[in-house]
Structure 1
Amino acid sequence: MRQVGDDIWVHEDSMKMLGTKLGLRMTIVRLEGGRLWVHSPTAISPSLQQEINALGSVRYLVAANNHHSRWLQDWIDVYPDAEVYVSAGIPRKVPLSNYHILQRGMENVWQGDLEWQTMPAVPMFNETVFFHLRSSSLIVTDLVQNYPENPNKAGLAGAMTKYVFEPIGFKGCCVAPPLKMGFTIKDKPAFHRFLQSVQEWSFDKIIVTHGDIIEDDAKDVFASLTSRFRRDL
């Protein structure tokens, strides 16, 4: 793990997808009182657990996007007393017994540490994004992605990247490619209002789950990436 701001750390990991390695990032925030908030849990191991426990007590496990629940149950098994917050589609994939759905109108139990907005009218993702006040960090799952260019990637991984992932939009700094397909957003004005609310936060970095953290001109980058959705109205 590495620290990326006041009371916030990230853990880098990866998984295989269609023959190529996909980078993953878990984010850990230390809330007031030493409680830990874990976003988008990656594979857990004894060494990672030891690092986590050295920071504080895991109180919240957060899977804020329908496509990011692969290791959630493993974390629940290790931290059974943690409260679980998930996107609306995850209970259909993971046999959870005690959890909270992240949704508009929900009480902000992390008041003072985190603000949040749930993406409306995009049932494919049902993503919730967060703003960590102390580190001025926007924390996202799939909404924004930032893939470094790697022209030397060889073999099957290189071919899949060049001929499959990049042509459909997984290239450089981008929004989740499915969002560019009009049918995935069921209420464009509501989605626009969601983006405007996020843009109003005073973040100076975007901690993405896929790719490099965006640390330069983060607000301008976000505005540029999401301008297409304003034009579509």
Structure 2
Amino acid sequence: MRQIGDDIWVHEDSRKMLGTKLGLRMTVVRLQDGRLWVHSPTAMSSSLQQAINELGPVSYLVAANNHHSRWLQDWIDAYPDAEVYVSAGIPRKVPLSSYHILQRGMENVWQGDLEWYTMPSVPLFNETVFYHRHSSSLIVTDLVQNYPENPNKAGFAGAMAKYVFEPIGFKGCCVAPPLKMGFTLKDKPAFNRFLQSVQEWDFDKIIVTHGNIIEDDAKAKFALLSSRFA
């Protein structure tokens, strides 16, 4: 666990995807009452669980994107008393017995610590993004990604990055490439309003699940990405 701000930590991990490694990041927020909020859980291990337990009791498990539920059940088993909040597509993939669907109009049970917006009319992701006030952090899953430039890519992983992933948009600071495909946005004006609402938050960094955390000119970079949907 690495602390990156007031009451907020991240854990770095990865998974194999088409012969290469895809970086993953879990974010943990300690709420004002001392309980923990865990976003996009990564693979469970005894050492990771010990590090988490030293921060406080886990009360909320959050899987806020349809494509990020691989280890969710492991965390539910480890923390059976935690409340589970998921995107709309996850219950079709994970046999959850008790959960809340993240959706517009739902009560914000983390008021005072976190604000959130759910991406409208994008059923591929159904992603919800969060703003942690105390650390001025925007927390996303796939909406924004940030891949470092690496001119020395070699081997099969390097070839996959150069000839497969980068050409379809997984390069530098980017939005999830599928969002650039018109068919994924069922209501483009609503999606633009969503982006404008996120832009109004006073964040100075973007904690992405894939790639490097964006700490320099975060709002300007988000505004540039958002402008491509105008």
TM-score range, shorter chain: over 0.9
Provide the residue aligned with 1:229 in structure 2.
Answer: 229
Q: TM-score, normalised by structure 1?
A: 0.98
Provide the residue aligned with 1:136 in structure 2.
Answer: 136
Provide the residue aligned with 1:217 in structure 2.
Answer: 217
Q: TM-score, normalised by structure 2?
A: 0.99
SS for the counterpart of 1:96 is coil
1:1-233 equivalences under 5 Å are 1-230=1-230
1:152 Cα shift?
A: 1.6
SS for the counterpart of 1:150 is coil
Amino acid at match of 1:210: H
Residues 93-130 of structure 1: per-residue CA shift (max 9 Å, x gap)? 00001000000000000000000000000000000000
Find the aligned partners of 1:112 and 1:17 in 2 and give their Cα distance. 38
1:193 Cα shift?
A: 0.6
Residues 121-165 of structure 1: per-residue CA shift (max 9 Å, x gap)? 000000000000000000000000000012222111011101100
Amino acid at match of 1:30: R
Amino acid at match of 1:91: P
Find the aligned partners of 2:226 and 2:194 in 1 and give their Cα distance. 11
Find the aligned partners of 1:16 and 1:159 in 2 and give their Cα distance. 15
RMSD: 0.5
Find the aligned partners of 2:47 and 2:140 in 1 and give their Cα distance. 25
Find the aligned partners of 2:59 and 2:115 in 1 and give their Cα distance. 17
Find the aligned partners of 1:32 and 1:92 in 2 and give their Cα distance. 33
Residues 202-229 of structure 1: per-residue CA shift (max 9 Å, x gap)? 0000000000000011000000011011
Q: Unaligned regions of 5+ residues in structure 2, if any? A: none
Find the aligned partners of 1:33 and 1:54 in 2 and give their Cα distance. 15
Q: Unaligned regions of 5+ residues in structure 1, if any? A: none
Amino acid at match of 1:94: V
1:63 Cα shift?
A: 0.2
Residues 15-40 of structure 1: per-residue CA shift (max 9 Å, x gap)? 00000000000000000111000000
Find the aligned partners of 2:112 and 2:33 in 1 and give their Cα distance. 12
Aligned length: 230
SS for the counterpart of 1:192 is helix
Find the aligned partners of 1:23 and 1:150 in 2 and give their Cα distance. 14
Runs of 4+ aligned residues of structure 1 deviating over 3 Å after TM superposition are none
SS for the counterpart of 1:229 is coil
SS for the counterpart of 2:229 is helix
State, as a whole percentage, how many aligned pairs show the same letter: 87
SS for the counterpart of 1:34 is coil
SS for the counterpart of 2:116 is strand
Find the aligned partners of 1:84 and 1:150 in 2 and give their Cα distance. 37
